[in-house]
């Protein structure tokens, strides 16, 4: 049996964030750790992102939240979450049992809120790092303020998850502010008509998930990789096949996060993890 290949996802951090497989689960896929699909052995993955988490609880968007479209679906939760205190109290006990590194996603939009959330998470057992999900309209200055605020609250390794359409614009500011890695990134936005049981429908505007999101992610990833910043890159968006996973790694990513594909096909992350442990070529999508 060959020895495991260790992957460092925060190489410039004093603690580091080491995983033994490049396949991770993105924020929202398993909630706070309570929504793991039966039979999914997380110990065979590189890690999981739990959350999103904010300082205060958020109720989220009223239904309908989901609308199917060709090649995927549109989802808008409105940032629903329980707030950091409730999340830690109710779910943090699950994190040491997941069997892999756990990263908590912070989604606060104000620096002081982000600092408080990071500080509350700092002393939580089993957290290997934090991921800051940026507001889509964040300026480089706001990005720096948020990263610095999280740094004041916690000394855990920190990734910044960038909006796809602005990833290359914002990536240098994240590097300057002291991020340890970049997640490329937040899904593109779109709209679809959500049909209701009684007939008729309502337009749902939100995040676009599914295979069609891969092309937008790969475009953003290659543009950020061309900047040659001293940060690891993690691909996230539309990855549904081994070929897509290998393309993302060939384009400059060190690891990847599987998002909505894990809801549609729960066995996919493990299959990708097994496939990427073998040599292969980045073929067609």
What is the predicted pLDDT for the residue at 208? 85
Asked if the structure places residue 26 within a domain, the reply is: yes
What is the predicted pLDDT for the residue at 197? 55
What is the predicted pLDDT for the residue at 62? 81
Angstrom distances, CA of residue 69 to CA of 66, 123, 209: 10, 42, 10
Highest mean pLDDT among 77-91, 160-174, 185-199, 268-282: 160-174
Q: Are 117 and 130 in contact (CB under 8 A)?
A: no
Asked if the structure places residue 197 within a domain, the reply is: no
Residue range of the domain that includes 270: 7-191+203-276
Asked if the structure places residue 223 within a domain, the reply is: yes
Reported as a single tens digit per residue, the pLDDT across 65-98 is 888 888 888 888 878 888 999 999 999 999 999 9
What is the predicted pLDDT for the residue at 269? 95
**pLDDT band for position 13 (50/70/90)?**
very high
- Calculate mean pLDDT across residues 95-110: 97
pLDDT: which is higher, 194 or 91: 91
Reported as a single tens digit per residue, the pLDDT across 250-263 is 999 999 999 989 98
Query: Of the ranges 82-91, 106-115, 191-200, 209-218, which one carries the lowest mean pLDDT score?
Result: 191-200
Whole-prediction pTM: 0.91
Asked if the structure places residue 2 within a domain, the reply is: no
pLDDT at 284 over 60: no
pLDDT at 188 over 60: yes
Asked if the structure places residue 281 within a domain, the reply is: no
pLDDT at 3 over 50: no
Asked if the structure places residue 196 within a domain, the reply is: no
What is the predicted pLDDT for the residue at 231? 96
Asked if the structure places residue 243 within a domain, the reply is: yes
**pLDDT band for position 119 (50/70/90)?**
very high
Contacts of 22 (CB under 8 A, 6+ apart): 7, 46, 249, 253, 254, 255, 256, 273, 276
Helical residues (DSSP H) of the chain, grouped into ranges = 84-91, 111-122, 140-153, 167-177, 213-225, 242-250, 261-264, 268-276
Asked if the structure places residue 214 within a domain, the reply is: yes
Token output for 90: 């109710």
pLDDT over 90 percentage in the chain: 72
Residues 180 and 178: their CA atoms lie apart, in Å, by 6
- Calculate mean pLDDT across residues 95-105: 97
CATH of the domain at 263: 3.20.20.70
Q: What's the total number of domains in the chain?
A: 1
């Amino acid at each position: 049996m060959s020895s495991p290949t260790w992957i460092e996802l925060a190489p410039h951090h004093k603690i580091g964030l080491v995983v033994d497989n490049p396949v991770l689960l993105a924020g929202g896929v398993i909630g706070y750790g309570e929504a793991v699909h039966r039979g999914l052995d997380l110990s065979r993955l590189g890690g999981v992102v739990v959350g999103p988490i904010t300082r205060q609880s958020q109720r989220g968007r009223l239904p309908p939240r989901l609308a199917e479209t060709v090649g995927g679906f549109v989802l808008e939760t409105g940032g629903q979450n329980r707030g950091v205190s409730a999340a830690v109290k109710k779910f943090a006990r699950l994190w040491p049992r997941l069997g892999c590194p756990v990263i908590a996603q912070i989604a606060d939009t104000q620096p002081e809120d982000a600092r408080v959330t990071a500080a509350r998470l700092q002393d939580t057992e089993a957290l290997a790092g934090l991921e800051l999900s940026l507001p889509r309209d964040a300026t480089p200055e706001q990005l720096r303020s948020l990263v610095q605020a999280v740094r004041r609250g916690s000394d855990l390794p920190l990734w910044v998850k960038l909006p796809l359409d602005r990833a290359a614009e914002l990536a240098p500011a994240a590097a300057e502010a002291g991020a340890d890695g970049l997640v490329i990134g937040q899904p593109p936005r779109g709209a679809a008509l959500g049909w209701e049981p009684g007939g008729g429908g309502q337009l749902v505007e939100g995040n676009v998930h599914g295979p069609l999101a891969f092309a937008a992610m790969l475009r953003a990833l290659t543009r950020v990789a061309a900047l040659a910043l001293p940060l690891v890159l993690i691909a996230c968006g539309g990855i549904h096949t081994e070929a897509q996973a290998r393309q993302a790694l060939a384009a400059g990513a060190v690891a990847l996060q599987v998002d909505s594909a894990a809801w549609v096909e729960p066995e996919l992350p493990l299959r990708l993890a097994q496939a990427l442990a073998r040599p292969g070529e980045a073929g067609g999508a």
